[in-house]
Amino acid sequence: SQTIHQWPATLVQPVGSPLSLECTVEGTSNPNLYWYRQAAGRGLQLLFYSVGIGQISSEVPQNLSASRPQDRQFILSSKKLLLSDSGFYLCAWCRTSGNEQFFGPGTRLTVL
Amino acid sequence: GDSVTQMEGPVTLSEEAFLTINCTYTATGYPSLFWYVQYPGEGLQLLLKATKADDKGSNKGFEATYRKETTSFHLEKGSVQVSDSAVYFCALSDQGGGNKLTFGTGTQLKVEL
């Protein structure tokens, strides 16, 4: 069976510090991968998605970047965090042939 | 572009009450439709889905029917429980590349004894 991991689960960072959130998927090959942000009391905003190693599509201009160094690894980064980067970050995967997405447990990021 | 509109929350119900959460969509083509549920502090879980018009998705007592004529996918449950308290998201699949989903803003449900 497939599983998706995210870490860390929670993170408190000062403004201006760097960020690295990691997501890994087990039990499948060549998945599509997605990063979402969920601000408090709001819906999900798609930030990035990837259909293969090294292939990243950005959905909104922002202070964040994403990378996919391995088939089942997706990393969300920032060089300098802003207060507005606070939120709940969710990683998801989907089979190439399907459209049903499976979500990880999320990372709660607080920027102070 | 594609969009999903959900009824505003929060919705507060007594246990065993009937639940309806409205969802309508705008899309080109024939998207698949989904309901996801998010329990406090957790990621999203797929609740049910429908891939074509008139399909009914169902799971854990929840149901939703894909209505092409009214572009709707309303979520229903005949008798809610306290454990159903969560945020519910309606979503549709993107017909373009990347299998992207477009989500509604979510509806918070609180069920009380």
Task: Give the tens place of pLDDT for each residue, B52-76.
Answer: 999 999 999 999 999 999 999 999 9
User: Sheet holding B75-77: strands in order across?
Assistant: B19-21, B75-77, B62-65, B56-59
Q: Which residues in chain B are contacts of A92 at CB distance < 8 A?
A: 44
Distance CA B21, CA B112 (A): 17
Rounded to the nearest angstrom, the minimum Cα separation between A83 and chain B is 21
Percent residues over pLDDT 90 in chain A: 80
Which of A34, A99, A109, A110 to probe the B interface (max B CBs under 10 A)? A99
Which of A44, A48, A103 to probe the B interface (max B CBs under 10 A)? A44
Q: Which residues in chain B are contacts of A46 at CB distance < 8 A?
A: 100-101
With CB atoms and an 8 Å threshold, state whether B49 touches A42. Answer: no
Q: According to the model, what pLDDT value does residue A40 have?
A: 73
Residue segments in chain B with a per-residue pLDDT below the cut of 50: none
* Residue B78, Ramachandran bin (φ over 0: left; ψ between -120 and 50: alpha; else beta): alpha
Best CA proximity match to A3, nearest among A93, A66, A80: A93
